[in-house]
Amino acid sequence: MKKAASAKGAASAKKAASKAGASKAGGSKASGSKASGSKSTASKSTASKASSSKTSAAKKAAKGAAVKKAPAPKKVAVAPKKATARLKGTAPAKAVVHPPGDESPTALVRRARRINRELAEVFPYAHPELDFENPFQLVVATVLSAQTTDLRVNQTTPSLFAKYPTPEDLAAANPEEVEEILRPCGFFRAKTKSVIGLSKALVEDFGGEVPGRLEDLVKLPGVGRKTAFVVLGNAFGRPGITVDTHFQRLVRRWRWTGESDPDKIEAAIGALFPKSDWTDLSHHVIWHGRRICHARKPACGACPIAPLCPAYGEGETDPEKAKKLLKYEKGGFPGQRLKPPQAYLDAGGTPAPPLGAG
């Protein structure tokens, strides 16, 4: 019995020793595996760092090349918040002007009406710049103003109306005598034909009176929609938009419309404003175009609507230099009328000199 127990114990001890050996061997293998993994990770990390270093160097080189090739950034046009102060010599705070771009119809209406309100503050005395005392004188003067200035017309018409005060008188006039009077206006032969022709039409078709309807006015020789709206708005008090060269230029510069045809411009701008504003709007825009927002050298630095204008910066932005570009009463020059309204004179406006003076 003792021998058998002794044999069993020996066998058990042998198995335990065998298991312990296997365990140690396994632990050794695992330890070797870990060491191998550690070496592999270190190797990968080193390679990764080297690769990252190369990539970083490449990026820096590319960035440097891009910086060298990139053009110098353009200066953003900056406009004064309230440029009416520019006219008084003070320097208001500045704000960046953002072009309308994808301006919505509602935003366009708001901006357009605000511009008109601003101009109404600057030119509260805006008026038609042709001298006239009645509808007949206005329609004749407006026809004569084509391809010349209102000032030149105002210097010429006193002699014309002194000799031919009524449509009947001008209808019966000697064309050569009328041509001689109208010579300073340019295109005097064509204009003589138009004013004599419209005078005859007034006598024959309208009893010597200027009609107060658009459809009748445009039938007169030399009278188009622009002339008709000048007469309707200023002689009869009926709203109309006067699309002259200044008006066309400014509404496109302000991006109120992209149209170039006068009739389409009239329709587009008419849709932005209530009808009651049309006549005064025309005066405000035309006055601004003649005095500040010139075709070639707009006085941006003295412009009262600079913050609202997408074209700010096309002209002189320095306030002092811009002031030198101002015309008529803003620049200290006489206006275009020999006999301007009292409101204009009260605001500091100066009458134009007669033809041949000075």
Question: DSSP assignment of 280-334, as one string?
Answer: HHHHHHHHHHHHTS-SSS--GGG-TTGGG-TTTTSS---HHHHHTT--GGGGT--
CB 333 within 8 A of CB 345: no
- Is 226 labeled as catalytic in the residue annotation? yes
Helices and strands, number each (H, E), in the chain: 14, 2
For the chain, the first-to-last Cα distance in angstroms comes to: 155
**Catalytic: which of 131, 150, 191, 244?**
244
285 burial (CB, 10 Å; 0-12 / 13-18 / 19+) is buried
Is 244 a catalytic site residue?
A: yes
Instruction: Determine the distance from the C-alpha atom of residue 79 to the mean position of all C-alpha atoms in its chain, rounded to a whole number.
Output: 13
Nearest to 191 by CA among 178, 205, 173, 177: 178
Annotated catalytic residue within 131, 150, 191, 226: 226
Hey, which residues are catalytic here? 226, 244
